[in-house]
Amino acid sequence: MPTSSQGDVFKVLLYVVGTLVLGAAIAPWIYNIGMGLAEVTAEKETNGFVEWIGRAAERSKDNFGRFFDRAVLLSALVLLFPLLAWLKLGRGGERYRDTPWSLRLPDSVVSGRGQPLRRNPHGGAEMIFGFVLSGGILMISGWILVKAGFFLWRDAAESTQGVPNPIVSEIDWGGALRKGLITALVVSILEEVLFRGVLLGIFLRAMRPAMAIVTLSFLFAFVHFLEPPAGAAVADPEAGNAGFELLGQILSRFADPLSMVGSFSILVAVGVVLGVARYRTASLWLPIGLHAGWVLALTVFKAATWPVFELPDAARWFVGMTLLEGVLPLVMVILTGLVVALMTRRSLPDEIDEAGP
């Protein structure tokens, strides 16, 4: 593994750690600024943008985790520019125009050692296939779980096992589909360009393909796993160490076997499936379709159902509170990955096969 490529991977990992530390440090400041704007906008009229921020801060005053999330996002954005300069992305190397998007990824990411992204003449069909495959399997599994009594439709009086619906309400299928499609497209494109486009390009230059895909999948899972556990709270949101207090609670999820098996392992599996799809096709079309299908299915199913809480604790090992929690959803993701592997086994360009890992 070349030293320079090893250094690039280390820089990416250091960027993730730095983002968390900086986010935890500035979270109390973000909270105090938000509460200050909430007080100002409650007492007098200001411009629309400030009032919107003030109202949002007021609604979230008892949810420090939301301010922590915003602080981490801000930190990620601030530290992104030093990271790009540190990696020297886009400098040097030959221009590589044959990419699947009009937005050209940096030359040092998609060319040189590793596997470059290539124009895919079947990209549109692969994206649609991935979208239908992942979303279809997940929605079918959701329907089965409703029939089994793990979830119930929001407009149903009770579950199939006779558990009463705590809040009976109509299902806005149209609104759920519209919101889900927008979310699916935005999230899938942004995350796939970042994780499977840029970061996997960096990791493939530094590692063998299997190791690169697995390592990035753990990083992908770690980033998506950074959510406060249920009931997490801090003693004093205005205290300077409040962000680190919450960060400690978030990291404590890694010591919870149920969370690791029911959630983290699924995120790793999702990352592996998307990484294999990107490597087998040398493009982002298929992983974007797969990612979008999962996001749409999750969004629509969440808007149409309630999880059933009156279940034995042991059942939570098999099915959690969403379609991507538990052993059974993990099996669905693995099944999707097997189909992807079978359908793309001949998609790998000959020159990449000959080059080896």
Confidence bin at 29 (pLDDT 50/70/90): very high
Q: Mark whether 61 and 180 lie in a shared domain.
A: no
Statement to judge: residues 68 and 209 lie in one domain:
no
Distance, CA of 332 to CA of 302 (rounded, Å) = 17
For the stretch 66-76, pLDDT in tens is 888 889 889 98
The phi and psi torsions of 117 (rounded to 5 degrees) equal -70, 140
Which of 295, 335, 348, 284 lies closest to 127, judged by CA?
A: 284
Q: Which of 56, 87, 118 is the last residue of a domain?
A: 87
Q: Which of 91, 58, 288, 118 is nearest to 190 (CA)?
A: 288
In this predicted structure, the answer to whether residue 7 has a pLDDT above a threshold of 70 is: yes
- Tokens 């909270």, located at residue: 31
295 Cβ neighbours under 8 A, 6+ residues apart: 180, 183, 184, 187, 188
Among 105-114, 196-205, 295-304, 343-352, top mean pLDDT goes to: 295-304
Comparing 311 with 218, the larger pLDDT belongs to 218
**Whether residue 288 has pLDDT greater than 80:** yes
272 with 195: CB under 8 angstroms? no
User: Do the domain assignments include residue 249?
Assistant: yes
- The 3-state DSSP class for residue 177 equals helix
Dihedral over Cα of 246, 252, 254, 258: its sign: negative
The angle that helices 265-281 and 285-304 make with each other, rounded to 10 degrees, is 150
Closest CA to 302 of 147, 152, 157, 134: 152
Q: Are residues 249 and 325 in the same domain?
A: yes
- What's the domain count of the chain? 2
243 Cβ contact partners less than 8 Å away, ≥ 6 residues apart: 23, 24, 25, 26, 27, 28, 68, 71
Domain co-membership, 132 together with 70 = no
% the chain with pLDDT above 90? 41
Q: Where are the beta strands (DSSP E) in the chain?
A: 151-153, 305-307
Between 48 and 309, residue with greater pLDDT = 309
Q: How confident is the model at residue 347 (pLDDT cuts 50, 70, 90)?
A: low
Residue 114, pLDDT above cutoff 60 = yes
pTM of the model: 0.82
Q: Show Cβ contacts of residue 93 under 8 Å, excluding neighbours closer than 6 positions.
A: 107, 108, 111, 112
Task: With CA atoms as reference, report the closest residue to 195 among 214, 220, 215.
Answer: 220
Residues 28 and 165 placed together within one structural domain of the fold: no
Q: Look at residue 151 and give its three-state secondary structure.
A: strand
Q: Are residues 54 and 122 both part of a single domain?
A: no
**CA 109 from centroid of its chain's CA atoms:** 21
Whether 248 is in a domain gets the answer: yes
Compute the average pLDDT of residues 54-62: 79
Q: Is 163 helix (H, G, I), strand (E, B) or coil?
A: coil
Domain with 69, as residue range(s), is: 1-87
75 and 103 in a common domain: no
162 and 190 housed in the same domain: yes
Question: Looking at the domain assignment, is residue 333 inside a domain?
Answer: yes
- In terms of Cβ atoms closer than 10 Å to its own Cβ (0-12, 13-18, 19+), residue 171 is middle
* β-sheet bridge partners, residue 307: 151
293 in the same domain as 177:
yes
Q: Which of 264, 196, 193 lies closest to 227, judged by CA? A: 264
Whether 163 and 310 have beta carbons less than 8 Å apart is answered as yes
Please check whether residues 105 and 127 belong to one and the same domain. yes
Residue 92 lies in a domain: no
